[in-house]
Structure 1
């Protein structure tokens, strides 16, 4: 008896608190805010990490922490933890941000834009296709079909909000498919890789390998509720009263793709797309095709959408015109339009399961009044095309990584930056030849600095930071994932280029040419000289001591990051990059005063911050010691006695004995220009005098004779 009492005592005071520790009062209070009418909030389920929420005996929905289901890392390298509520119909009851380390919200624009962003999920459904408006044009809202919703993004935090959206949708879908009726997924299928025989167009239709749907003129008028003559549009009638006729096929299936494109065309398409891309070919004829004449290749058709299991999917044109893909099935009719659409979305597309194409007929009677009719087109194919597969991955693994969409979205920025880096590499490779043309070097340098500041910095937000260094170290420590670093394509490309260039030219290529804040300091120094401000030359002995300050700053930041990431995020404000480049100086006044103060000092002391305080420069200088080449030429007279290059070096990276201090050099190439200038270089002038002396003697002898 005593033993039982002891066991009960231990259970009550030890086991029970442990069981209740999971659902703290604070968390229960937040869940109550997501479900105001809740009377019972249960513990987390053992088999699935959600908290069931009840009103008396009625299940209202589920609350869950996003990190339990979708541990996608944020821009800072740590997951963004959110508490999400979802009712039994798949509608979000709200989202609460529990914890995050996104620098732009913590120490930049503030957390209010983040909270405003997640507030947009309340009342939205998983059955809607939620698209983030990254152009910040204020066009958030629902589209005409009611299935697609645009959310306002957050300027300066595009990557973070896209990660948040991906995290919320993927985790919510996981919860819905495991706990909510109506969201269960049909057994996954894929196209049979060896199922093929040559067929004509009509045979493909007859066997159900290609879907077909017709709408007559009379049926369209019945749906719209008025005659087509009431609309100002001209409706040509090439097919005897046929308003539209749709044909659609799953191109990944060899039976469809090979018969429509031929073996070569099918193989070329599949190789260009990759194994995870699913493509539906939509063709049409009649007076109202599936895309208007104004359709922009690579975009989403406003006349066509796709859903499966009540969940909206994205259909985006692959813009394959001019790729040599010609439809060549025997007996094909004359088509008005055809497009290859990539099928995407948070739910994932199951080609062997029933789906629905929605055909949108939107006609304007005048500039104020429009009529809309949405027709449901069954989109299922002959099951012989597909085979069932065992699900081996989670929903998060099945979805296209966020970074792929970001790279596609910023393709022209990527192309421009890569082109600029290629030009810069060629320029540096031929620096000895090009430096013989001082005007060319100076114009190219200033042109590139303007490109770096205004395009790479202000527009593309490509300012590298010491944050990227400790994010990499933390990722290696916690389990490396390349996806985190691919989230910002411009930053990734610049880091990759900088890392490679460190072993060729040292740290100077980045610091002198690719750092937006460095370019801003260069322009500030030029302005100071033009204004006639006295330029302060730091004495050599003090300069050699001051340049060491940035190294303990670097070590302190890296050490702090492993101790407390939150503290490191505050201390990293020693970098003025976020204030000046990311936020355009629109920030809390102490940060602005600090950044402007550093620039003001730069009016008198050339690139003061770069030389003495920059922890990023310190890190690059350490790695730059592994460079393979010393590109900057020196001659015997450099430093002994000639000090011209040293005096001209604004950053004081040339020692008195003429040696280049590559740890400090920003590769401005000014010393190389001087060395190749017949008028400036003492060595060149002495050589010219030696060459001219014999010539003068011969000329004198000739005149005497």
Structure 2
């Protein structure tokens, strides 16, 4: 008995150590992140980091991102990374341990992903890292604080998730383990403190910060007189080079006096209770915003630091007739901006911070001089109160998806408008079907919009991947955030899901699927080239349309067994090759996708009808539709077969019934039914009316 008890105690004692022990592969990766390391120790008890030493000196920490920031990736699983951070808060490198991002695994390949994470090496948490999705700029900005990384085209969501994971996890490690990154007691603005004050009173009491630098001082910093810079404006006597004013708008004493009660309330309504807003105003020769500043973006000249961490600053672009700075006695300003501040690092308004103004003046098109100016930010203490329970900034920061939706507001607006128009068109299809040319032109116009805007530009191709991502998310613990990361896909999926209960699967498959639109165009081209159009025999057609359902079941079942295998099998969908990657891919994938389009030139929408697992999934849900919009008449199929013969995908039975599981809602049969020259029922009715008129005339 004592022996067993001793064994149990040994197991309990060594279990945590074994759990935190390093295997050889991970030790080798950490050695790559810290080449000078001589001692890599096991995981610290109570905190998931691996201390790294050079002899007896601590030089940094390595950690796995999933231990500190398990943010779900685009495929519904976190991107697991090994990250190195030295004792000064600089990244020594990032290594991918495991990921399931489809666009990198079986699309672009992993080289763009590795190139992206290589940009973190040598960068510091004191810098503001911004992902440049346009790939037009990279490196340090003129203020020396903002760093722009090259994004990855076609993988914007994935790289933004990776960036957020790296920064948020590094901030946790820095605040827990690194000197100089600790936080002062958290504060918030006092909501009960307010009295009407003039501009000068706000300045005198320290509610508004003020800083300026003279032309002589900036010349000393630059090492050259302003006359050496042709583009620099010439100062008037006594005019400052730059004069800055700044205030914390969330404090009613500041916000209500600067914006007025109506403007203050409107701003809070628009930004929400969690937003922290800093007003910055400037005048003089060199304002805090450049002439080419883009409203709604982060400033290039101005940065904000607190606790050695760079904070995000983004223009709210909210000035209008009700929101404007108009305090009593305020001097004329060259520029005034309301910035949302915080980001991953969070912002403590009652603690000291630093605005960093970057000044760059050009002597000619090749030579420029630069300097960085540190502007202390400290407001009067009575504006704030200490928060008893410190909120974790990394838990209360603005979700990544909010920034993505704001950045893509124009795309979202166009998409929502187009879906609204499509909804109105479908709701009034019975009326509009009386105008065949209008229906045909609208359909083809919308198909081109779907292919080029929704597909190629907005990357809004839905996929069966989204279905098993949803199922895995439900299985592992559902979070809506991962689905909000791509606003276009989220809007399309929401619209498609709702429309399934109204019109069935056809609204998406026939109007909103970019690859489906491409197949329609391939079929049209085949007809124009006079390719023989092959009709699959009815008995074979009814069997082949069932093939896509077992394909769907295999994909969904495999996803729960092995996500990596499911990601390979999902290549049965040609969407990634044809729409996401514009057919620029390893040749077997291109041959497959192009081959399906070529077959579609002979057999109308071959892939959609027989192979598409996404169509199968939508057809299953489409069985729950509430309405059958496509009218039938007594003669449909008995004996009239005109609609059936005109249906390119053979979604009409011989007896005239519509097969809604296969129908793509092209509305061709609706047009035929409303046309007195095509519909047999209407032609017979017209003939009977004429005969009745003749008989009535003869009788008269």
Q: TM-score, normalised by structure 2?
A: 0.96
Deviation at 1:7, TM superposition (A): 4.9
- Aligned pairs for 1:2-17 (under 5 A) are 7=6, 11=10, 15=14
Report the CA distance between 1:236 and its aligned residue: 6.4
1:514 to 512, 515, 519: 512
Local SS of the residue matching 1:529: helix
Distance 1:12-1:426 versus aligned 2 partners, 3 A rule? closer
Residue 320 of structure 1 aligns to a residue in which SS? coil
CA distance in 1, matches of 2:626, 2:663: 16
- Farther off after superposition, 334-343 or 269-278: 334-343
2:27 alignment partner in structure 1: 28
2:484 partner SS? coil
Following the alignment from structure 2 to structure 1, what is the Cα–Cα distance between the partners of residues 452 and 19?
54
Write the distance in 1 (CA, Å) between the matches of 2:293 and 2:105: 41
| Whole-Å separation in 1 of the counterparts to 2:65 and 2:20 | 19
- Residue 699 of structure 1 deviates from its aligned partner by 4.2
Distance between the aligned counterparts of 1:196 and 1:101, measured in 2?
A: 53
* Selected match of 1:198 from 196, 200, 204: 196
Rounded Cα–Cα distance in structure 1 between residues aligned with 2:7 and 2:499: 68
Residue pair 2:262, 2:322 contacting (<8 A) in 1 also: no
Q: 1:675 to 1:615 in 2, by over 3 A?
A: same
What is the alpha-carbon distance in structure 2 between the residues aligned to residue 479 and residue 239 of structure 1? 66
Q: Taking structure 1 as reference, are residues 663 and 261 closer, same or farther at Cα in structure 2, changes over 3 Å only?
A: same
Equivalence for 1:125: 124
**Residues 129 and 345 of structure 1 are in contact (CA less than 8 Å); yes or no, is this contact kept in structure 2?**
no
Deviation for aligned residue 1:32: 1.4
Counterpart contact for 2:20–2:43, Cα < 8 Å: no
The one of 686, 700, 703 equivalent to 2:684 is 686
2: CA distance between counterparts of 1:216 and 1:544? 83
Equivalent position of 1:221 in the other structure: 219
* TM-fit CA distance, 1:349: 1.3
Secondary structure of the residue aligned to 2:31 is helix
Q: Give 1:701 deviation, angstroms.
A: 5.8
Once the two structures are superposed, residues 288-326 of structure 1 have per-residue CA deviations (whole angstroms, 9 ceiling, x without a partner) of 322244433223333322111222222222112335213
CA deviation after TM superposition for structure 1 residue 686, in Å = 0.7
- Distance in 1, matches of 2:492 and 2:548, equals 22
Equivalent position of 1:285 in the other structure: 283
CA distance in 1, matches of 2:371, 2:35: 38
Distance 2:34 2:572 in 1: 43
**Residues 1:536 and 2:534 aligned together:** yes
Call closer, same or farther: CA 1:12–1:41 in 2, change over 3 Å: farther
Contact 2:16 2:45 in 1 (8 A): no
1:202-213, aligned counterparts within 5 Å?
202-213=200-211
How far does the alpha carbon of each residue in 1:511-534 deviate from its partner, in whole angstroms, 9 at most, with x for none? 000001111111111111111111
Higher mean C-alpha deviation, range 553-562 or range 3-12: 3-12
CA RMSD of aligned residues (A): 2.1
Distance 1:77 1:328, change over 3 A: same
CA–CA separation in structure 1 for the residues paired with 2:5 and 2:626: 73
1:96 aligns with 2:95: yes
Deviation at 1:357, TM superposition (A): 1.2
Counterpart of 1:82 in structure 2 is: 81
How much has 1:350 moved relative to structure 2? 1.1
Residue equivalent to 2:255: 257
- Paired with 2:679 and 2:84, the residues of 1 have a C-alpha distance of 73
Structure 2 counterpart of 1:490: 488
Closer/same/farther in 2, CA of residues 535 and 312 from structure 1, 3 Å limit: same
Aligned twin of 2:648:
650
Distance 1:477 1:20 in 2: 26
Partner of 1:316: 314
Kept in 2: contact 1:82–1:97 (CA 8 A): yes
**Aligned residue number for residue 382 of structure 1:** 380
Structure-2 change in CA distance of 1:515 and 1:127 (3 Å): same
Residues 418-497 of structure 1: matches in 2 within 5 Å?
418-497=416-495
Contact 1:238–1:287 (Cα < 8 Å) also in 2: no
Listed as ranges, the gaps of 5+ residues in structure 2 are none
Q: Equivalent residue for 2:351?
A: 353
Distance in 2 separating the partners of 1:671 and 1:523: 19
- Out of 354, 360, 363, which is 1:362 matched to? 360
Q: What is aligned with 1:49?
A: 48
- Alpha-carbon distance in structure 2 between the residues aligned to 1:563 and 1:284: 60
Supply the distance in 1 between the matched residues of 2:321 and 2:73 (Cα, whole angstroms).
Answer: 37
CA distance in 2, matches of 1:230, 1:588: 55
* Distance (whole Å) between structure 2 residues aligned to residue 16 and residue 499 of structure 1: 48
Cα distance in structure 1, aligned partners of 2:434 and 2:214: 74
Asked if 2 retains the 8 angstrom alpha-carbon contact of 1:549 and 1:613, the reply is yes
* Larger mean Cα displacement after TM superposition, 326-335 or 512-521: 326-335
Task: After superposition, give the CA deviation of every residue in 1:592-646 in whole Å (9 maximum; x if it has no partner).
Answer: 2211221111111111111111111111111111111111111111111110000
Comparing 296-305 with 198-207, greater Cα deviation is found at 296-305
Residue 40 of structure 1 corresponds to 39
Find 2:152's aligned residue among 154, 170, 192: 154
Query: Cα distance, 1:353 vs. partner?
Result: 0.9
Question: What is the DSSP-based 3-state SS (H/G/I as helix, E as strand, rest coil) of the residue aligned with 1:156?
Answer: coil
Q: CA deviation at 1:130?
A: 1.2
Give the C-alpha shift of residue 27 in structure 1: 1.2
Distance 1:639 1:283 in 2: 75
8 Å CA contact 2:450, 2:512 repeated in 1: yes
Cα distance in 1, alignment partners of residues 5 and 346 from structure 2 = 54
Question: Do the aligned partners of 2:107 and 2:585 also contact (CA within 8 Å) in 1?
Answer: yes
SS for the counterpart of 2:274 is coil
Equivalent residues of 1:239, 1:286 under 8 A apart: no
Per-residue deviation, 1:479: 0.4
**How do 1:391-430 and structure 2 match up within 5 A?**
391=389, 393-430=391-428
- Change in 2 beyond 3 A, CA 1:532/1:670: same
